[in-house]
Amino acid sequence: MAANRNTIIRLSKYKSALFRLKALGFVKVFSDNLGDAIGVAPTQVRKDFSLFGISGSKRGGYQIEQLIENLNALLGKNQTEKAILAGIGNIGAALLHYKGFEKEGIKIVAGFDIDPSKYSKEAPTPILPLSEMGDFIKEHGIKIGIIAVPEIAAQIVLNAMVTSGIKGILNFAPLQLKSSNDVIINNINIELELENVIYHVNAMSTTEGVKSN
């Protein structure tokens, strides 16, 4: 009934699809089109919108422009969201330079690491000692943290973030992090996702007759 994780993920997907449609010059859209675009049933689309009080017109579908505005308001994309990043290793450095965040209104305002050779206080996005992270979070009122430190350090970094006021975390360390339930943690475990692909590929080739080879 409520706004569960999958519902929100779908809202974000609708928004991406709407931007693409808008870029193509479309002005209105039907639940049918939008369903096709993100691979769900049209009823699902209408149900999702109705859940958040977004309505279209009975015969004319939804106005794309207005729908985007509604979704932006809902997803909190009307102001830029500041985030910090802990761990400037492989993944961390990639995230730091990742272009995709900007268009979603997300800005990584600082990175933190324990390795002094990584520090660069004058960079556009400064890299600072991990020991300064807590103060930085408090001083700038940051709510969102990204964890890209090694597995062994992840829980400690998490605790430091939460203690200083972080409320939402995207975690790339390959373990299930735990915290009190007034903190949102979203775990992205790349190994696990790849392992999952491999499983399904192998399962497929054994179940449904081996092809070619």
Q: How far is the CB of 98 from a copy of itself (least distance, A)?
A: 5
From the list DNA, a copy of itself, none, partner contacted by residue 36 (C-beta under 5 to 8 A by kind): none
Is the CA virtual torsion 42, 45, 48, 54 positive or negative? negative
Q: Is 90 in the site for a copy of itself (CB under 8 A)?
A: yes
Contact with DNA (CB under 7 A): which of 27, 41, 192, 201? 41
Q: Which of 122, 151 has the CB closer to a copy of itself?
A: 151
Distance CA 192, CA 27 (A): 40
* Dist. CA 114–CA 117, nearest whole Å: 9
Site string for a copy of itself, 160-199 (x = CB under 8 A): -----x-xxxx---xxx-x---x-x-x-x-xxxxxxxxxx
141 binds DNA (CB under 7 A): no
Q: Is 45 exposed, middle or buried (0-12, 13-18, 19+ CB in 10 A)?
A: buried
Of 59 and 182, nearer to a copy of itself (C-beta) is: 182
Buried b / exposed e along 63-76 (16+ C-beta atoms within 10 A): ebeebbebbeebee
Q: Which stretch binds a copy of itself (CB under 8 A): 45-53, 54-62, 99-107, 110-118?
A: 99-107
- In the list 34, 57, 106, 163, the residue contacting a copy of itself (rule: CB under 8 A) is 106
Rg over alpha carbons for the chain, rounded to the nearest Å, is 21
Nearest residue to 118 (alpha-carbon basis) of 140, 161, 148, 139: 148
To a copy of itself, the closest distance from the beta carbon of 120 in angstroms equals: 17
**Position among 58, 97, 124, 152 found at the interface with a copy of itself (CB under 8 A):** 97
Out of a copy of itself, DNA, none, which partner does residue 70 contact, by CB within 5 to 8 A per kind?
none
Size of the site for a copy of itself (CB under 8 A): 65
Q: Which does 193 bind (CB under 5 to 8 A by kind): a copy of itself, DNA, none?
A: a copy of itself
- Regarding 80 and contact with a copy of itself (CB under 8 A), the answer is no
Q: Contacts for 133-138 with beta carbons within 8 Å, 24 or more apart?
A: 133/84, 133/86, 133/157, 133/160, 133/161, 133/164, 134/160, 134/163, 134/164, 135/164, 136/84, 136/110, 136/112, 137/84, 137/161, 137/164, 137/165, 137/166, 138/164, 138/165
| Torsions phi, psi for 184 (to 5 deg) | -85, 125
Residues that bind DNA (CB under 7 A): 1-2, 4, 6-7, 30-32, 40-44, 46-47, 49-50, 54-62
